[in-house]
Every structure is written in structure tokens, then in C-alpha cells.
Amino acid sequence: MTHDPQPPTQAAAGRSRRLSVHIERFPIAGRFTISRGAKTEAVVVVAEIRAGDAVGRGECVPYARYGETVEGVAAAIDAARPLIEAGIDRFALSAAMGAGAARNALDCALIDLEAKRAGRAAADLLGLGPLRPLVTAYTLSLGSPDEMATAAAAAAHRPVLKIKLGGEGDPERVRAVRAAAPSAWIIADANEAWSENTFAANMAACAEAGVMLIEQPLPAGDDALLGRVARPVPVCADESLHVAGQVAALAGRYDAVNIKLDKTGGLTEALLAAAEARRLGLDIMAGCMVGTSLAMAPALLLAQHATFVDLDGPLLLARDREPGLVYDGSTVSPPEPALWG
């Protein structure tokens, strides 16, 4: 009597997996400055999951604002080794690990591995359909009005500029950028730097300059004012939003949400957050930390149905990884399988 061979169980298949973790550094072109500080390099953590000849990769950017360190995130990824090598899938991973950079690297690596083993595009596996090129915002660092005007003039050919603000003196910064880039769409990102005392003047300056969106003007957890005042310029939650379960509480105070894979803990949760935002009538920004093309590639899947796209990380680097995404000015093409997905 013979038996047809049975497909291996998930655990059996998973025993052939091997996880490796790498810390990599990429220089930033100049200095990247926001209200909380400045940096001159992007330090990223990469998870690689190998199964036979297939390798899935995911990149994350640990963020001190959320209590993360590079060493701590690398250790958290390594601590998940027994789960990864035992064959856990990305849905079970979401239940086993908290949201954040470490889970993002593993989630994206698992999606990439699944696509590589299936010989199909990740977008196809996720039911997202063919990907198209997208126009990304281009970020200008926080500086004096004169410094930001100089940077804006150099980038005035780009269709969308995102300007970092810092609280005091922001009306002058906004006016200087608008004068230097009169045709660009402008997104203003305060990174929690405004207060109830500065909000009215800063909002008025943004409205006068035709700013299209203001990101996280007030500190997360101290933003009740947004539900009580007029918002002549739409306001987008960034630091206030991490996972899908938080979206509903933001409706009424915010008009949009900035979904970043390093906050949600991967593309799997990011797509859930986007679906919840759409259900509630909130616009979506697909955002990023300063990372390489490997971090941007899965976010491009999220960005396909976003109102605002801010995936300019590689444009801010002096050197990107190879192969990387192809940028034609501010237009970024979908990733090739050799990079991700």
C-alpha cells in the first residue's frame, strides 16, 4: 500500500529557515534636522530570512522618540529567532510581537520571502494588483528662514515639498519657503513642536501660504485642542498613530493619518490601519523614516491608495543601497524583485 506524499506542515517548512540580523549605516547628504534634533547618518537594522535558495529581507529604522535603540531593536529581532525558524507566519507574528521597528523588519522579510518562494509579486500575493509609479514629497530640514528658503529654491522644481517646522518662528519659515518655491505643493511637519500658544499664528501662516497639510502640530496625547478649533488647513496625525486600533480615536481631531511601517510594525498592520482610515473617511499619507530603498519598497504597496506619499528616504542619503529604487526626480517606480517583493 502506498501513500501520496503530504505537503510539509508550516513548522516542518519553517525548520529550514535561518534568520540573520545586520546593522548598517548610510550617510545622509548633509544634515537632517527636525524639531527634536539632527543626524548625519541613517542607521538601519536589516532582517534576512533564508529558506533554501530564497531570501526575504526587511529593513527598519529604530526611533528614539518611541523608546527604541539600534541595539535594542536588533536584539528584539534576534529574540524572535525561535519563532521565525519554527515557521511562524506574519499574522501570528503580529500577535506574538508588539508593534514597532523590530516587527516591521521581520514582517517585511516574511512577505518578501513568501513572494520569492512563490515566484509572484508581493503586491499580487496581498491582493493589491499591479503597482504604478508615484510622486513623493521631498523633505526640507528645519533651519532658519533664510536657510530653508535657499533649500526650497534648490528644490523648487519638485512638485511636493515637505518642510520641517520647529514652533517659534514658523510663520517666517513658511513664508520664506513659499516665496522661494511659489509653485510647489507644501506639506508642513511640526513634529509635535507647536503649543496652544503658537497654534493660531502658525495655522494662519500655513493657510495664508496655501499649505496643503500640517502634520502633528501638537504633542501626541496633548492634542485635544484640534477637536475644538477650526482647521483651515487639514491636519494629519503622525506621532499620535501607530496601529489600526488607534485610528478611530483620532477622527474628529485629525483629517488624515500618516502610516509608517516602522510604527505599525510592518506592512501587514499598515494595510489594516489604512483600511480603517478609509472606513472613517480619513485621508492617508504613506510615510517613512530616513532609510534606504529596502525600507521604502514595501511602503510603496501601502502608498498605492494614499492621498499623500512621503517616501523620499533614499533621496536624502548620500548613498543608497544597490540595487535600489529608481527615482526620476520625485517620481519613484515600483521595486524590482531583486530589491524586495
Alpha-carbon span 163 to 185, nearest angstrom: 11
**Would the CA dihedral through 86, 91, 95, 98 be positive or negative?**
positive
238 is in an annotated binding site: yes
User: How many residues are given for the chain?
Assistant: 341
147 is in an annotated binding site: no
Under CATH, domain 134-332 is a member of which superfamily?
Enolase-like C-terminal domain (3.20.20.120)
Q: Which residues are catalytic?
A: 164, 260
pLDDT number for residue 14: 46
In DSSP notation, 236-251 reads EESTT--SGGGHHHHB
pLDDT number for residue 134: 98
pLDDT number for residue 129: 85
283 is in an annotated binding site: no
Peptide bond into 182 cis (omega under 30): no
pLDDT number for residue 191: 97
Per-10-residue mean pLDDT for the chain, 341 residues long?
37 71 97 91 98 97 96 98 97 97 98 97 95 98 98 98 96 98 98 96 98 98 95 97 98 97 98 98 98 98 97 98 98 98 96
Residue ranges, comma separated, of all CATH 3.20.20.120 domains in the chain are: 134-332
Residue ranges, comma separated, of all CATH 3.30.390.10 domains in the chain are: 15-119
Under CATH, domain 15-119 is a member of which superfamily?
Enolase-like, N-terminal domain (3.30.390.10)
Q: Which residues contact 256 (CB under 8 A, 6 or more apart)?
A: 213, 234, 235, 236, 237, 277, 282, 283, 284, 285, 307, 308
Alpha-carbon span 277 to 56, nearest angstrom: 29
Helices and strands counted in the chain (H then E): 13, 14
Are the C-beta atoms of 163 and 190 separated by less than 8 Å? no
